[in-house]
Amino acid sequence: MEQRPFIIYKSSAGSGKTYTLTLEYLKLALQSPHAFKQILAVTFTNKATQEMKERILKDLTRLSREIIPSEFLDQELMKFLNMDEQGLQHAARETLLDILHGYGYFAVSTIDSFFQRVIRSFAKEMDLQAKFELELDQAAVLDRLVDRVVEQVSSDQNLKKWLTEYAEERIEEGKSWDIRSALKGLGSEIFKENFKGFQPIFEATIAHDGFLADFRKVIVGKKEELIDEALDIKNKAHEIRVRYGLEWTDFSGAGGTNNFAIRLDRLGNEKNPITSPTESQLLKIEGVETWYTKTSKLKNEIESAADAGLRDLLKSLPGMLTQWNTLMALSRNLNAFGVFRNLIHELRELKDEESILMISDVNDFLKGIVAGNEAPFIYEKIGNQYRNFLIDEFQDTSEFQWSSFKPLLVNSLGTMNTNLLVGDVKQSIYRWRGGRLELLLHEVQEQISDKYQNIKNLSINFRSLPNVVSFNNSLFSSLPELMQEAISSEFKVDSLNLLSDAFKGVSQDVPKKKLEVDFQGKIHVEFTQKAAKNSFDTSEEEEEDEEGDQNSVLDKLVPIVKELQDRGYEPRDIAFLVRKNQQGADIADKLMSYAQENPDSGYRFDVLSEESLFLSKSAAVKAVIALLNYLGNPADLVPLKTFWFYYALIHELEYSHELFEKNSLPIELLTKQKYLVEHLNRWLQLPLMEQVEEIIKFLDVYERKVDLAYVSGVKEAAFDFVKKNRADLQGFLDWWELNQFKRTVKIPEDHNAMRILTIHKSKGLQYKAVIVPYLDWKIVANGPMAPIIWSEYAISDSLKTVLPLTHQSSLLDSEFVGIYGDEVRLAYLDTLNMLYVAFTRAEEVLYGFADFSQTSKGVINLKQSGNILYTLFAQGFSLPTHPSKYYWDEEKLVFDWGEWPVSTLAKELVKATAIDLKWDSVDWRQKLKTREYAWDFSESGIQAREHRRLGVLIHEILEQAQSLEMAIEMLQSFVFDGRIDKETQQTISTQLIELFELPQFKYWYADDLQAMSEQGILLPGGKQKRPDRILVGENQAMVIDFKTGEKASKHELQVKEYMELVQRLTDLPTQGFLCYLEPTEIFEIK
């Protein structure tokens, strides 16, 4: 068999992608000992990485215990590796242990972290700072960035102009004049690949000052020209009309919109100078009959006027409109864009100052390193050389990422090493992060030589029951076409068959044996009609509507949960998929409050969500944050009252006017209040982490044992914050303000609770029962949410740049029609993919809820996913396997298919045995001691420092030094340590030399006696006695002790004690000396 090394798996939902990937990994890893070190498996998220690792290790562990010949995996491995059972078992064991002990080489990693590793080793070459930190929080950086840029207004006239005009524009649109938030919106583009792809062009254009100003001048000029032109046409038309003695209302259509001729009269308006005939009108212009009504008496005059120039004038309008729209599109973001230069410049400064590298720069940099290189050197530097690359979720790979990987792959393929891409175009939902599904769709295949390629399709669905598969087969065979129709009917854009192409071969098979099981799966999709939107409504109000409708869905969820649990589904089998975290939070609220109101319902409503169980939901957390806010600004009473309110809530005290009134407080709280007042100042001096701790303690939640997971979450937040930032209170509060909705309660995965997660996060996961409550959303965003698309544009050869355009329908009639269409198509594909991901998560049961709307005339626009789904079902959605419309209930607007199994038994839920934690918090300060040194910042140290009492330092030196040389060396080490400065060193050194000049010192430090002071004397029990100097000679011994400060009799006693000890150990007559250092005085102790 011919071995083509480049395997591309095109997978589908539930087709065993992970399984396949693991199998392929094992095939490579088990080939030879340590082969695993040469495999790099790349996944998309940290979680996926984790799971992949676990999966591999689990399979290896199992294989090393026993081989199951009936397992497909085992069979494949034995076949591929040409091993028998024993051989495989042995190899698995060896590899498992090799991996566990060479764990650093076990390269399963996210693209990001792999790239980061490479970047680190190239830091110097890339001119990065040595200790750069990778900054993940782009929003925070942008925040600082925009503030800094706005502050430059005083020194940068250009900037001031851009910003002021921008602010004015916004005011005219009825928005707040504070432009910072809007700047942040557009500014975030600088981190995106969309812009970065064009960055070189951009940098080139702004290289010379005033470019953008010139550019704008030209645009403004051109606009004026167009207006003039329009006025000119208007005048000409006017002149012709008058010449033939006509009024505009004489033309067909009179004063209404059907009168195309009257448009000539409306030209030249400042805001909207060009009013072009519609497409259908344009067709009619050619003839003459359409110019007048049948009954018109002025037929001849009108005909002549048309021929005399009105027709030609009208025909020139569309072209002008295109020009106008183009100019408008260009100018729409121009003012904000004018600030880009400053943003980019300032970002560079900021990165340098704070030694950070933006996470978004990583791909950029790597592309730079890889470009034009043969890849292996990269690995030589980081120390691993990979031969095999396995890339998962390839459809989400970005252009930059792929161009960094490509040389590696090509290099590896060149030596016929196996490489593997796995992905599913249908599940590409990360376009907003730069994911480029076209790569998997066709581009990679075009870029890599055919002779290497081995394309495989995974088409069996192992995940879902037959009904679910069959339903999805039908649904996703029909949806692409319907949506393509929508693209052309709603947006006048050619679909180019993009959706159909991506969903080619969407139908999956089911493993035979599943067809025999009792339960075949159940699908329930329900629609609710909501009031049609008035097209004049602003987008804000639309959102309001959406929220309104969401509540009605919520009410339907509780019965479903009950039903499912009745049918034997455990909480962990059930998942809710949402688009936005807030929707998830609503669901969580609903279920939790139901559980609280109905404690004895007999059902379980525990939910678990990485994204929706916001910390700030908890009263205790609110209280903690409020009090921190109060600490930060004690003049503000609102946080304080907030605190008391939540305190009362936690402790089940009644709140009242007394609590909120600014000068009063209920008596129950007065002692607390007193404590607060007394401790406020002390708390202010504590490090942030401890402030939080103290406040939690003050809140008494540890005793009440409530909200523990939540307050822990806040502590963790502070913990994480301190790690990265200057640990001050205000900084934390600001950070919290921005990040509170990113912090959720963390619950272990194995907790038996229902899952709430976003469709995005659900990718790769599966649940027995899946509920998708909000299936209706706008497909192509507009208004403030409209996407920004970048386009090159050249007004003239010298005036060429790249500009941000807001996606809006007027682009259709502009020079940007091409990118406009791209965006529409991809937006539809996004929605289709999102639906696909959502619907294919279910193993057994699928619930979906969608709103839809139609006008009074029964027209349904196909711009909303809900409407599209409704249209599909209402128009007779049928299942090829069960060709009948029976499952659609027109009245109830419900599609329902599948019978519950006859017998279901509710399982007894096993409660995990919990390990207890201890919660109270104690004062540890008394227990902890730090060591003291001479001249440190303890009270005595500071005093010594102030009075320059050198004796203590000299004492510390003499305690250890065996000679003057050593003393000087030690003194030097004080300097190196920073304890004293050079000047002090000088003085001490002089004093030391003087001391060693003294006859006694000469004798004490002479070589003829053996010095034992370094060793000292050990007493039973471990205590040590260390006189500063012990000398032992042939027939006598000596003890010397140095002292600072006042003379005291206890010093004498101490020396005597030493003398006794030494005498006992040496059996020699022992002399004792006491030497005071300030001033130097020596006494012999008798």
Report the C-alpha gap between 1063 and 1055 in whole angstroms.
12
Q: Is 667 in the site for another protein (CB under 8 A)?
A: no
Question: What DSSP assignment string belongs to 743-766?
Answer: -B----TTS--EEEEEHHHHTT--
Of 177-216, which residues contact another protein (CB under 8 A)? Answer: 177-179
Q: Is 160 in the site for another protein (CB under 8 A)?
A: yes
Report the C-alpha gap between 993 and 996 in whole angstroms.
5
Q: Is 904 in the site for another protein (CB under 8 A)?
A: no
Part in contact with another protein (CB under 8 A); list of ranges 229-237, 331-339, 617-625, 949-957? 617-625
Which are the contacts of 983, defined by CB distance < 8 A and separation ≥ 6? none
Residue 61 tokens, joined: 């562990």
Nearest approach, Cβ of residue 1000 and another protein (Å): 24
Among 438, 693, 700, 896, binds another protein (CB under 8 A): 693
Per DSSP, 519 falls in state: -
Respond yes or no on whether the N-terminal peptide bond of residue 1079 is cis (omega within 30° of 0).
yes
Q: Is 929 in the site for another protein (CB under 8 A)?
A: yes
Give burial (CB, 10 Å; 0-12/13-18/19+) of 201.
middle
Place of tokens 């006189």: 1027
Question: What DSSP assignment string belongs to 645-700?
Answer: HHHHHHTTPPP-HHHHSTT---GGGHHHHHHHHHHHHHHHTS-HHHHHHHHHHHTT
Q: Is 89 in the site for another protein (CB under 8 A)?
A: no
Binding residues: 11-18
- Which CB, 359 or 894, lies closer to another protein? 359
Q: Is 536 in the site for another protein (CB under 8 A)?
A: no
Report the C-alpha gap between 1056 and 1062 in whole angstroms.
10
Q: Is 249 in the site for another protein (CB under 8 A)?
A: no
Element (H, E) at 848: strand 842-852
Report the C-alpha gap between 322 and 813 in whole angstroms.
5
Among 748, 858, 883, 999, binds another protein (CB under 8 A): 748
Nearest approach, Cβ of residue 410 and another protein (Å): 13
Report the C-alpha gap between 737 and 362 in whole angstroms.
28
Of 1045-1084, which residues contact another protein (CB under 8 A)? Answer: 1061, 1064-1065
Among 719, 886, 900, 1003, binds another protein (CB under 8 A): 719
* SS3 of 427-484: HCCCHHHCECCHHHHHHHHHHCCHHHEEEEECCECCCCCHHHHHHHHHHHHHHHHHHH
Place of tokens 């919520």: 554
The size of the interface with another protein (CB under 8 A), counted in residues, is 179
Among 167, 282, 328, 1068, binds another protein (CB under 8 A): 167
Phi first, then psi: give them for residue 772, nearest 5 degrees.
-115, 95
Q: Is 399 in the site for another protein (CB under 8 A)?
A: no
Assess contact for 842 and 464: CB atoms under 8 A.
Answer: yes
Assess contact for 666 and 653: CB atoms under 8 A.
Answer: yes
Of 266-325, which residues contact another protein (CB under 8 A)? Answer: none
Which are the contacts of 917, defined by CB distance < 8 A and separation ≥ 6? none
Q: Is 622 in the site for another protein (CB under 8 A)?
A: yes
Contact mark string toward another protein, 17..56, x via CB under 8 A = -----------------------------xx-xx--x---
SS3 of the chain: helix, strand, coil, percent, to 5: 55, 10, 35
Among 256, 599, 978, 999, binds another protein (CB under 8 A): 978
Among 980, 1031, 1077, 1085, binds another protein (CB under 8 A): 980
Among 522, 945, 955, 1043, binds another protein (CB under 8 A): 945
642-650: list long-range contacts, CB under 8 Å, 24+ apart. 644/669, 646/619, 646/620, 646/622, 647/623, 647/672, 647/699, 649/619, 650/619, 650/620, 650/623, 650/699, 650/700, 650/701, 650/704, 650/706, 650/707
- Which CB, 685 or 1049, lies closer to another protein? 685
Report the C-alpha gap between 62 and 55 in whole angstroms.
11
Among 3, 82, 535, 681, binds another protein (CB under 8 A): 681
How far CA 720 is from CA of 340, 711, 739, in Å, comes to 32, 14, 12
Among 642, 762, 791, 1070, binds another protein (CB under 8 A): 642
Binding residues for ATP: 11-18
Q: Is 415 in the site for another protein (CB under 8 A)?
A: no
Report the C-alpha gap between 587 and 607 in whole angstroms.
9
Part in contact with another protein (CB under 8 A); list of ranges 128-136, 477-485, 832-840, 997-1005? 128-136
Which are the contacts of 510, defined by CB distance < 8 A and separation ≥ 6? 460, 461, 464, 465, 466, 469, 470
Report the C-alpha gap between 756 and 561 in whole angstroms.
13
Part in contact with another protein (CB under 8 A); list of ranges 174-182, 281-289, 480-488, 572-580? 174-182
Nearest approach, Cβ of residue 950 and another protein (Å): 16
Q: Is 673 in the site for another protein (CB under 8 A)?
A: no
Which of 393, 504, 423, 509 has the alpha carbon at shortest distance from 461?
A: 509
Interaxial angle between packed helices 688-698 and 708-724, expressed in degrees from 0 to 180 and rounded to the nearest 10: 170
Nearest approach, Cβ of residue 468 and another protein (Å): 30
Nearest approach, Cβ of residue 613 and another protein (Å): 8
- Which CB, 902 or 912, lies closer to another protein? 912
Contact mark string toward another protein, 1013..1052, x via CB under 8 A = -xxxxxxxxxxxx---------------------------
Part in contact with another protein (CB under 8 A); list of ranges 332-340, 419-427, 496-504, 659-667? 659-667
Q: Is 383 in the site for another protein (CB under 8 A)?
A: yes
Q: Is 942 in the site for another protein (CB under 8 A)?
A: yes
Using only C-alpha atoms, what is the Rg of the chain?
Answer: 39
Q: Is 709 in the site for another protein (CB under 8 A)?
A: yes
How far CA 196 is from CA of 68, 334, 365, 1008, in Å, comes to 52, 18, 11, 78
- Which CB, 420 or 745, lies closer to another protein? 745
Q: Is 545 in the site for another protein (CB under 8 A)?
A: no
Q: Is 964 in the site for another protein (CB under 8 A)?
A: no
Q: Is 687 in the site for another protein (CB under 8 A)?
A: yes
Part in contact with another protein (CB under 8 A); list of ranges 567-575, 757-765, 780-788, 1012-1020? 1012-1020
Of 822-841, which residues contact another protein (CB under 8 A)? Answer: none
Among 751, 892, 907, 1047, binds another protein (CB under 8 A): 751
Of 755-814, which residues contact another protein (CB under 8 A)? Answer: none
Among 125, 225, 312, 792, binds another protein (CB under 8 A): 125
- Which CB, 49 or 520, lies closer to another protein? 49
Part in contact with another protein (CB under 8 A); list of ranges 20-28, 84-92, 812-820, 1010-1018? 1010-1018
* H helix and E strand count, the chain: 42, 25
Contact mark string toward another protein, 347..366, x via CB under 8 A = --------------------
- Which CB, 905 or 914, lies closer to another protein? 914
Residue 958 tokens, joined: 């003499």
Report the C-alpha gap between 168 and 164 in whole angstroms.
6
Nearest approach, Cβ of residue 684 and another protein (Å): 4
Give the three-state DSSP class for 270. coil
Find the DSSP H helices in 725-816.
729-739, 759-762
Q: Is 152 in the site for another protein (CB under 8 A)?
A: yes
Among 209, 981, 997, 1084, binds another protein (CB under 8 A): 981
Part in contact with another protein (CB under 8 A); list of ranges 333-341, 438-446, 626-634, 995-1003? 626-634
Q: Is 596 in the site for another protein (CB under 8 A)?
A: yes
Nearest approach, Cβ of residue 265 and another protein (Å): 18
